[in-house]
Amino acid sequence: IWIDQSVTIAVRLANVDAPEIGRPACRAERAIADAAKATVEGLADDRLFLRNISLGKYAGRVVAEVDTLDGTNIGAHLVSIGQAVPDGVEDPWCLESATPSDGNASSAPAQSSAP
């Protein structure tokens, strides 16, 4: 990288699982994803530091820990405010939502309480 040159790259936050924007499993996941994106944009201040960078499993994306100029770890911050979970923890985004993100009703059969 040369002086006065900038580079844009897609980054997956290391050590956390954040909700999906592109293919959410439900409306709740999309809403939390949008909120998480707004949180990151609010913290970014146009400059971020990447640490422990590795290649992602998808082309054009890296996995890294991301810190703000004041040292706030973005992944840890998102976890602390409920907009992400640590890696290995089940995604809670759709547990309370029975409505798929495409608006179709659930196809699960109704349960009868008759004896």
* Whether pLDDT at 4 is above 50: yes
> Which of the pair, 97 or 96, is modelled with greater confidence?
96
In this structure, how many other beta carbons lie within 10 angstroms of the beta carbon of residue 89? 11
**Mean pLDDT value across residues 44-48:** 80
Banded model confidence at residue 3, pLDDT cuts 50, 70, 90: confident
* Whether pLDDT at 45 is above 90: no
* CA angle, 35 then 87 then 20, to 5°: 35
Nearest CA to 13 out of 92, 85, 95, 94 is that of: 85
* Whether pLDDT at 22 is above 60: yes
Percent of the chain with pLDDT over 90: 50
